[in-house]
Amino acid sequence: MSVKTPQALRDATTESKQAGENGRVVYEQFILFGDSITEGDGNPELGFSCYQALQHDYKRRIDIVNRGFSGYNTSNALAVLPRIFPTPQQGPVRLVTLFFGANDASLPDTTGQHIPLTTYTTNLRLLIQHPAITSHSGVRILLITPPPIDEWGFDGWDEPGRSARTAGVARAYAEAVRHVGEETGVAVVDLWGKCMAEAGWTDDDTGKDSKLLLPGNKKLERSEALARLLYDGEF
């Protein structure tokens, strides 16, 4: 265990950008906002954690805040955002990740989480433009596509013979995130594409009108790559 010297304590305070009321140090923040995939980031049993890696890389400089909410879709996110996001005075936000879609993409009349694709894209734009976020000067936003679906991973989760999530629908919601990013100029992490590349799939394999099945579809043999990457069928 290391003991900070008075000089080290002074250094720690000068690394912050602002001072709050009564001289209290206010650190800038990165906020990771998403569903259960974000909430579960940091579980040591699941291997690499982006949340923990950021905490390590930005220690004593920026607070990394996990605001993952299991089961949430983009409509839930819009409802809760004003209540969980700090004001610039409470803590200036430098970066916010928006990682929703896995629940939105559930099929209608299954889990109760489904959000139609057009509403999903509208919700993403509303999140990007929300005053709770844009009130932070210079804040950067990062969109993350929902991951692929390994339909095999949902054995025991869904009703017998009925799946609440499919590989093809997951692709459509990932494409919607990329389109919103292009329209708004917001950076996008194409998690869906990266995972599918690990499964050996490329954009040349299936066009938008192709009837070829995607890796993860239960009509194909199970993809070992997706089974490894998607621990519960969807990440």
Instruction: Single out the catalytic residue among 16, 36, 49, 135.
Output: 36
Task: Report the alpha-carbon distance of residue 145 to residue 36 in Å, rounded.
Answer: 14
| C-alpha dist (Å) from residue 109 to 106, 116, 160, 171, 221 | 9, 12, 15, 20, 27
φ/ψ region of 26 (left if φ > 0, alpha if ψ in -120 to 50, else beta) reads beta
Number of H helices, E strands in the chain: 9, 7
**What does DSSP say about strands 187-189 and 25-26: parallel, antiparallel, or unpaired?**
unpaired
Q: 83 near 75, Cβ under 8 Å?
A: no
**What does DSSP say about strands 28-34 and 62-68: parallel, antiparallel, or unpaired?**
parallel
Phi and psi torsions of 171, nearest 5°: -60, -45
Q: Which two tokens stand for residue 234?
A: 């969807």
Q: 191 near 114, Cβ under 8 Å?
A: no
2 tagged catalytic: no
Query: Around Cβ 77, how many Cβ atoms within 10 Å?
Result: 25
Residues with catalytic roles? 36
